[in-house]
Amino acid sequence: MRTSLFLPLLLLPYALPAQDPAQYVKPIIGTQKMGHTYPGATVPFGMVQLSPDTDTIPYEMNGKYNPDVYKYCAGYQYTDKTIVGFSHTHFSGTGHSDLGDFLIMPTTGPLQLNPGTADKPESGYRSRFSHEHETAEAGYYKVRLDDHNILAELTATNRVGLHRYTFPQADQAHIILDLVSGIYNYDKKNVWTFVRVENDTLITGYRQTSGWARTRTLYFAMVFSKPIKQYGHQNLDSSVYKGFYRKFDQTSNFPEMAGRRITAWFDFDTKAGEQLQIKFALSPVSTAGALRNLAAEAPGWDFEAAKRKSREDWNRELSKVTVKALSENDLINFYTALYHTYLSPTTYMDVDGAYRGLDQLNHQAEGFTNYTTFSLWDTYRALHPLFNILQPRRNADMVRSMLEHYNQSVHKMLPVWSHHANENWCMIGYHSVSVIADAIVKGNIRGYDAMQALEACANTARYKKYDGLEYYMELGYVPEDKNSSSVSKTLEYAYDDWCIAQVAKKLGRTDLYNEFIKRSQNYRHVYDASTGFMRPKLSNGSFRKEFDVLSTHGQGFIEGNAWNYSLYVPQYPAEMIEMMGGKKQFTQHLDSLFTMHLPDAFFAETEDITRDGIIGNYVHGNEPAHHAAYLYNWTGAPWKTQERVRMILEKMYKPASDGLGGNDDCGQMSAWYLFSTLGFYPVCPGSTAYALGSPAIRSASLQLENGKTFTVEAVDQSPQNVYVRKVELNGKPLQQRFISHSDVMGGGKLVFYMSRKPTR
């Protein structure tokens, strides 16, 4: 049983004081089990994510995957008892990982340069901590490090992490800068590390790794608020040739450190209660860039002011939505979800616009903010559509960033899963085209050329080396005997192709429209009418004999089984329903999905989610069926959408550390929550339509960048009144269960009349 961690503020009727929605943000939500969120300090879309890491176990040992590491995608697990340190980069909610760069740990007592183990924290520099002495807020994190008697406080600007450590009296006060530590680490992940002690308060350097991102370098500049007494480093690769550096005692007060695996230490004298501050700036380009970022964003030493500023940054973004909720927990869920959607993509350029490109060259972002951390298989579904409403300017810059990636790509492909100047090739599809189509079709074209974007989309979709595309283009489907997860790929390629066709249509490129609208029909090739499921097909044209509709492994699907994935034709729901036997039969399929009882073996093999992330056989903790609950709108049973949506909202999102039923996936899970709570959802990004569901708030008003306000109101709202009796848009009854993007962006009012009973 999960219970809220948060004491009620006793504010009724849970109306938001407009000036401080950040008070409802609880970064601790999702930090337990599968949420994979991090509790540390960051600002909206910030480059720095300064957050505690509670363990750093290796991803791979002796060449074999260590499944335990998966818990540490965000570096933090709520049930852990120790903190290893505070590192400056984290993914939010991912199901694979990297980062954890530049771990800082303040310690007292004898110098220790290895982290030690969770069961024996005194064996290393890590410290015990407890949640009683831990605070996680938007832009601020505080914890007491019990073993060292140090109070650690963190805040951040976009590119600078700010640390404030309150020490006890100590003649042995250390700051450890561990360049070996990292998330999803393993023996050979560190490629090179480099540290220069520029003077008695300034340190610069970089860390180069080869992990999920194959060739990644991140630079830093670090300033202490008081002079270093002495310093040194440990180099774990003592066998590496050291040349004539052997002339020096490099372990102590030698200002140039370099090697594959460096851990540096800096010593200070501290008085009781003395506060040592650190400003730690990042740059994708150079240590000089990090210094410029530092000077621009954190010139002084007023930690409190920086903390206030980061909260203001959050409030400015969060207050774009004003909500009246049914409970304070709902406010917490809502604003924490909004917070989670604003964590990624992340800024990836210096204050002067310099960034590293996919081609490993330094580039200058002219007239846009360059972003990275594109988890596109997840986020094309609801996150980027949400941005087209709440963050259109940023979303256009994200499209521009994807196009720059394309320009820099030797494959001439848009990003699949990219971060920090790398393409990770994670998951499937080419869903950049969905994000681009959604922006273009919704008229959010600024700072990039739509025709060039279309060309990028078309070329991406024609790159035959990519993941079965050659077969797909030849046969109309990906054959499972040639390329695994073939059904998922076929279905998603077909959807993406439809997106490209929509852009081509809008831009008058009939040739491309014809090419891709034809491909968008390819979902039909993997439908097996004899079973009523999408099913893996072989290159000889026959369906594969072995077929388990429940399993997610080796069945032609990824992160979803045939039950969930067979619903994946978001571009043609009506046609799909017809193909699958018509509305009645399809309704039965959907009903069964949500209600069937599954054996335990099923859960054991399901990735990225807990049992809590599943309702019947409906997997909400993964993304492929995120649109499924809304499909009842096409079967003539919208009340079933309404009850399912409200049920999912209640079961899958709780104001607790284990409140998320699956990976938040860079905000996609949270974006689903936000749309669904507001009463509408983008079933098919790339179209302008939103399917209506059942709002879970009393009211919400969205302050749009165009100066207009879109309001949702739920009349007769209550936890039981999950059904929608009628809907009015700007005072006029809506006949369809859909609204369009222009309805939202034009401002106006959407009123749901709620009821305890379905309106059939």
List interacting residues with its own copies (CB under 8 A). Answer: 59-60, 63, 186, 188-189, 191-192, 194, 196-198, 206, 208, 210-215, 237, 239-245, 247-248, 253-256, 258-260, 286-288, 359-362, 410-411, 417, 424-426, 465, 467
Q: Nearer Cβ to its own copies, position 239 or 542? A: 239
Shortest separation between residue 428's beta carbon and its own copies, angstroms: 9
Residue appearing with tokens 């320009």: 407
Cβ-proximal residues to 301 (8 Å cutoff; 6+ apart), any chain: 225, 277
Smallest separation (angstroms) from its own copies to the CB of 110: 26
- 421's tokens: 């100047």
Whether residue 29 contacts residue 329, with contact meaning beta carbons closer than 8 Å, is answered with no
Nearer to its own copies, 208 or 701 (CB): 208
Amino acid identity, residue 357? G
Q: How far apart are CA 734 and CA 399, in angstroms?
A: 33
Residue 739, classed as helix, strand or coil, is strand
Would you say 237 or 302 has its CB closer to its own copies?
237
CB of 286 to its own copies, least distance (A): 6
Instruction: Select 190 or 391, whichever has its Cβ closest to its own copies.
Output: 190
**End-to-end Cα, the chain, rounded Å:** 34
Least distance (Å) between residue 252 CB and its own copies: 10
Q: Could you give the CA distance from residue 692 to residue 370 in angstroms, rounded to a whole number?
A: 34
As measured in angstroms, the least distance from the Cβ of 246 to its own copies is 9
Q: Closest distance between its own copies and the C-beta of residue 491, in Å?
A: 18
Query: Smaller CB distance to its own copies: residue 255 or 746?
Result: 255
Closest contact distance (angstroms) between CB of 219 and its own copies is: 9
Closest to 294 in 3D by CA, of 198, 229, 210, 385: 198
Among 250, 244, 236, smallest CA distance to 197 is for 250
Closer residue to its own copies, CB minimum distance, 304 or 359 = 359
Element (H, E) at 618: strand 618-619
Q: From CA 609, how far away is CA 83, in angstroms rounded?
A: 24
CB of 251 to its own copies, least distance (A): 13
What gap in Å lies between CA 717 and CA 326, rounded to an integer?
8
Tell how strand 689-692 and strand 738-740 pair up: antiparallel
With respect to its own copies, which residue has the nearer C-beta, 247 or 597?
Answer: 247
Cα separation, 99 vs 260, in Å, equals 16
Q: Which is nearer to its own copies, 244 or 540 (CB)?
A: 244
Encoded amino acid at 332, one letter: I
Nearer to its own copies, 188 or 757 (CB): 188
Shorter beta-carbon distance to its own copies: residue 64 or 545:
64
Minimum separation from the CB atom of position 472 to its own copies (A): 14
**CA-closest candidate to residue 25, choices 47, 44, 52:** 44
Please, which residue, 357 or 536, has the CB nearer to its own copies?
357
How far is the C-alpha of 479 from the C-alpha of 227, rounded, in Å? Answer: 64
Tokens, residue 200: 């008695």
DSSP class of 239: T
Which two structure tokens, joined as six digits, stand for 57? Answer: 């176990």
Q: How far is the CB of 748 from its own copies (least distance, A)?
A: 44
Pairing relation of β-strands 321-324 and 346-347? unpaired
Is the Cβ–Cβ distance between 313 and 226 less than 8 Å? no
Q: What is the closest distance, in whole angstroms, from the C-beta atom of residue 361 to its own copies in the complex?
A: 5
Closer residue to its own copies, CB minimum distance, 503 or 558? 558
* Smallest distance, its own copies to C-beta of residue 56, A: 16
The strand pair at 85-87 and 82-83 is best described as unpaired
Q: What is the smallest separation between the CB atom of 237 and its own copies, expressed in angstroms?
A: 7
Quick one: which of 513, 598, 489 has its CA closest to 550? 598
> Cβ–Cβ contacts within 10 Å for residue 295, how many?
13
Closer to its own copies by CB, 357 or 573: give it. Answer: 357
Specify whether the CB–CB gap between 516 and 493 falls below 8 A.
Answer: no
- C-alpha distances out from residue 146 to 167, 186, 278, 685, Å: 11, 28, 20, 49
CA of residue 724 relative to chain centroid, distance: 32
